[in-house]
Amino acid sequence: MIPGALERALPLLDPDAHDRARPSAAGYVDLLGPASPGSTGLAQDLMLGRVVPAVYERWWRPALGRVAKGVLGPGMAEEHRIARLLLGLSPGDGVLDVACGTGSFTREFARTVGDGGLAVGIDVSETMLARAVRETAEAGLSGTAAFVRGDASELPFRDASFDAVCCFAALNLFADPMRALDRMRAALTPGGRIALFTSALGRTPPLRAWQAVLAGAGGIRMFERDELVTALERRGFVEIRQRVAGFTQFVGGRLPDG
Ligand SMILES: C[S@@+](CC[C@H](N)C(=O)[O-])C[C@H]1O[C@@H](n2cnc3c(N)ncnc32)[C@H](O)[C@@H]1O
């Protein structure tokens, strides 16, 4: 049986996606079936297997995040705080967590928006999503958080469906991140907020060269420090904020009110 939040998420799908939507045995809505978007490299492949999702929240994400953000960079609790700050969620809001992984941010958003709101996580990985659904049920949040299997570059939601969109630790994995940003912007209501956490190239040529080698080996795209600020400006966002930490950056902004 489809839980409450999924029932409320289905009408937000665009008509084509709605026709393709199939409930999965694990409890998410599947828009892809056997067809997955092509892998962008090793980092992406690891997310699709069984091992990384099993250790992702407790070990993988905090450890790799620490390496990327630097010893003085924000820890996971601080990342959650930054997401909260940039998204400005209130009870009753609708929030989309793009490339949600095992859903730790999605669940936190669900707690904030409460029963009158809705948190939707979308990801391409069946194993990540199965875990997200299970942990969300264990946390008693299935009425507020729903999960969809789909491609972030072709976000399958009707325009102006969400008050806030988050995309943490994933834009650098997408084949077409600017297309994904277009779709995130379209999914937002007037006044909607966006929060991004992704890679940032260093300033010095030796550092940049070393980063390029590492990132290339893992299939991770490195963004220039001004690239996403400019990308948000071009898409009409205002009040854009950025914090760079090590090889990473947090960027947020808001659409003007309608
Ligand atoms: C490093 S995890 C980030 C998870 C979570 N947002 C976080 O901050 O911990 C990256 C996620 O991006 C997902 N992903 C990669 N490419 C995707 C795509 N094209 N569409 C949807 N999800 C994608 C992977 O399956 C993986 O779960």
> pLDDT tens digit string along 167-214?
999 999 998 999 999 999 999 999 999 999 999 987 777 777 777 777
CATH code, domain carrying 240: 3.40.50.150
DSSP 70-118: -TTS--HHHHHHHHHHHHT--TT-EEEEET-TT-HHHHHHHHHH-TTSE
Q: How confident is the model at residue 218 (pLDDT cuts 50, 70, 90)?
A: low
d(CA 180, CA 176): 6
Residue 166 near ligand 1, beta carbon < 6 Å: no
User: How many Cα atoms sit within 13 Å of 181 on the Cβ side?
Assistant: 23
The token duo for 256 is 């003007």
Evaluate if residue 42 carries a pLDDT over 50.
Answer: yes
Rounded distance from Cα 156 to ligand 1 centre (Å): 16
pLDDT at 105: 98
Compute the average pLDDT of residues 216-245: 92
- Pocket residue to mutate for ligand 1, from 173, 197, 221, most atoms within 8 A of Cβ: 173
Percent residues over pLDDT 90 in the chain = 71
Q: Which neighbouring-strand residues pair with 42?
A: none
What is the DSSP-derived secondary structure letter of residue 10? Answer: G
Compute the average pLDDT of residues 225-239: 97
Residue 130 near ligand 1, beta carbon < 6 Å: no
Longest Cα–Cα distance of the chain, Å, equals 55
Residue 169 near ligand 1, beta carbon < 6 Å: yes
Q: How confident is the model at residue 217 (pLDDT cuts 50, 70, 90)?
A: low
Evaluate if residue 1 carries a pLDDT over 50.
Answer: no
With a CB cutoff of 8 Å and minimum separation 6, the contacts of 11 are: 18
Per-chain mean pLDDT for the chain: 91
Could you list the residue range(s) of the whole structural domain that residue 78 is in?
4-30+38-254
Does the pTM surpass 0.85? The reply is yes
Q: Which atom of ligand 1 is nearest to the CA of 100?
A: 6
Rounded distance from Cα 51 to ligand 1 centre (Å): 15
Of 233 and 74, which is predicted with more confidence? 233
Dihedrals phi, psi of 15, to nearest 5 degrees:
-55, -40
The tally of domains found in the chain comes to 1
With a CB cutoff of 8 Å and minimum separation 6, the contacts of 63 are: none
